[in-house]
Amino acid sequence: MATTADFRNGLCIEFNDDLFTIVQFQHVKPGKGPAFVRTKLKSLTTGRVIENTFSSGVKITTARVERRPYQFLYRDDIGFHFMHLETFEQITLQEELVENADLMKEGQQVEIVVHADTETPLTVDLPPFVELEITYTEPGEKGNTASTSVMKPAELETGAKINVPLFIETGEKIKVDTRDRSYSERVKN
């Protein structure tokens, strides 16, 4: 058991017969009335984000989850196949559990969040940044290549489509932020 004073980003709690992780929280002490905590919670089973307000000091049940290192092997009709990096045990997960699956390439290291009590895989977390090669993008117009505020569509080696600055060309490697699917920087060889 914990209280609202123990809230932190990433904490997993049991709430409304589901597992949630705290995405964002804010302690509020109004001039009138009791203090409360405003939160954004993301369901680990459905991926849905909800907002909820807890009274300050209320008791909550925390869930014990573990982050385990896995390597993405391949994808087929059954699902996504992963191998544990320490035990070499292989598991197969459905596409719903893999967020931003189109940014993941074979051999990629990921973390699988597992509910420790039931040994149930909950989500697959990619690293914050991945390096991918551009397979196709329109060439930039001469004179428009200095600004990074103007973007154009590009297709990556995994089939994902994101927007990149005009100066990026086909065949270049870039870093992609997996949290918001945005261009981060060009990778220097």
As a whole number of Å, the end-to-end CA separation of the chain is: 50
Q: Residues in the chain, how many?
A: 189
CATH label of the domain that carries residue 157: 2.40.50.140
CB-based contact 76:95 (threshold 8 Å): no
pLDDT of residue 14: 92
Question: What's the Rg (C-alpha) of the chain?
Answer: 21
**Among 80, 102, 125, residue at a domain's last position:** 125
Q: For position 145, what pLDDT does the model report?
A: 52
Kind plus residue range of the DSSP H or E element containing 174: strand 173-177
Predicted confidence at residue 142, as pLDDT, reads 63
Q: Cβ distance 9 to 23 under 8 Å?
A: yes
Q: Give me the residue label for tokens 């544990």.
A: 84
Q: 56-79: b or e for each residue (b if 16 or more CB lie within 10 Å)? A: eeeebeebebeebebbbeeeeeee
Task: Print the domain residue range for 20.
Answer: 2-62
pLDDT by residue, tens only, the chain of 189 residues: 889 889 998 899 999 988 999 999 999 999 889 999 999 998 887 778 999 999 998 999 999 889 999 999 999 999 999 999 999 999 999 888 888 889 999 999 999 989 888 888 988 889 999 999 999 998 876 665 555 578 889 999 999 999 998 888 899 999 999 988 999 999 987
Residue 121 tokens read as: 């895989």
Same domain as 134, residue 107 = no
Last residue in a domain, options 101, 125, 149? 125
Predicted local distance difference test score (pLDDT) of residue 143? 61
Instruction: Please tell me the predicted confidence (pLDDT) of residue 146.
Output: 56
The predicted model scores a pTM of: 0.76
Number of domains present in the structure of the chain: 3
**What pLDDT was estimated at residue 147?**
56
